[in-house]
Amino acid sequence: MNLLITGAWNDGKKYIPELEAMGHKICFMQYEKDALPCAYEWVEGVICNGLFLSHDIKKFTALRYIQLTSAGTDRVDVDYINEKGIRLYNARGVYSIPMAEFALCGVLQIYKQAEFFRENQKAHRWEKHRGILELYKKHVCIVGCGSVGTECAKRFKAFGCKVTGVDMLVRQDSSYDEMLPLDKLDEVLTEADIIVLCVPLTDETYHLMNNDRLNHVKDGAVLVNISRGPVIDTPALQSHSKRLGGLVLDVFEEEPLNNISPLWDLKQTLITPHNSFVGDGNGERLKSVIFESLKDC
């Protein structure tokens, strides 16, 4: 197969000899916004992330295989891909472990007042804090019970939490104490101490957490977003932030986050630059996913 690999696969160059030994012809481009280093009609398969944001997928007339380095598919035209019978693979499971660890870590930082102690350490100030919370017996709502959500569920359950999953496709899964359909979300939000958003960005999940839904969130709850920024209506979040127990935000409606955004200065808020997916095991997991998908082509 004539295979175009972009720099979105960080280790891609390292595996070119192995891929060529499998019979593939490789063309590599580091930056997806650059001009294509080969003819569009030459390409039969691509390993990429946002390539089709800069290059019209319809120009790839011989395309039959797409492997994304991301778990989400919101950067590709899924309807067109299905219509043309192109095989589409994502990076399901590759980033789930570091993202779940990040979600747990973020909540623990808020519960254990990490910022308070960090600032005191900088000031060489010895001061106790009597408002430390425990994860034990807290009610965690995981919204989106795919690979990322399930890894989150496992970790929160290990801390003795009650874990309720909310998903469009309800199933039996021992990682959760219960799983409910999406139309039950408002009911769960009134009870949950911690809400972790892990849903993909679709028409149904755009502004899933809008003003009306945030009205249902329990006072003092911690909200974690490791899905996509537009899952939360940002102005609505800002208006509700004072009554929440904390925010862990890794994704935003506009990225990078504007340096004058009010989100930066909210109390009990951890902001990171779309970084929750990073982990030292990603490279090996992504390689396994890619080589497995290539077996089908």
Whether residues 46 and 114 share a domain: the answer is no
Give me the pLDDT at residue 6, please: 98
Whether residues 208 and 251 share a domain: the answer is yes
Dihedral Cα 220, 224, 230, 235, nearest 10 deg: 30
Q: Which segments in the chain show pLDDT lower than 70?
A: none
Give me the pLDDT at residue 196, please: 99
Whether residues 106 and 248 share a domain: the answer is yes
Is the CB of residue 59 less than 8 Å from the CB of residue 81?
no
Whether residues 63 and 13 share a domain: the answer is yes
> Across the strands, what pairs with 249?
225, 271
Whether residues 175 and 128 share a domain: the answer is yes
Whether residues 67 and 169 share a domain: the answer is no
Whether residues 41 and 103 share a domain: the answer is no
Domain count, the chain: 2
Backbone phi, psi, residue 85, to 5°: 70, 25
Whether residues 124 and 256 share a domain: the answer is yes
Pairing of strands 222-225, 194-197: parallel
Q: pLDDT tens across 113-157, in order?
A: 999 999 999 999 999 999 999 999 999 999 999 999 999 999 999
Whether residues 80 and 188 share a domain: the answer is no
Whether residues 134 and 267 share a domain: the answer is yes
List the CATH number of the domain containing 105: 3.40.50.720
Whether residues 104 and 86 share a domain: the answer is no
Backbone phi, psi, residue 166, to 5°: -125, 125
Provide the residue range defining the domain that includes 240: 96-271
Give the C-alpha separation, 148 to 66, whole Å. Answer: 22
Give me the pLDDT at residue 240, please: 97
Give me the pLDDT at residue 24, please: 98
**Burial code of 8-46, b = ≥16 C-beta within 10 A, e = fewer?**
bbeebeebeeebeeeebebbbbeebeeebeeebeebbbb
Whether residues 24 and 148 share a domain: the answer is no
Give me the pLDDT at residue 270, please: 98
CA atoms within 13 A of residue 71's CA, in its CB half-sphere: 23
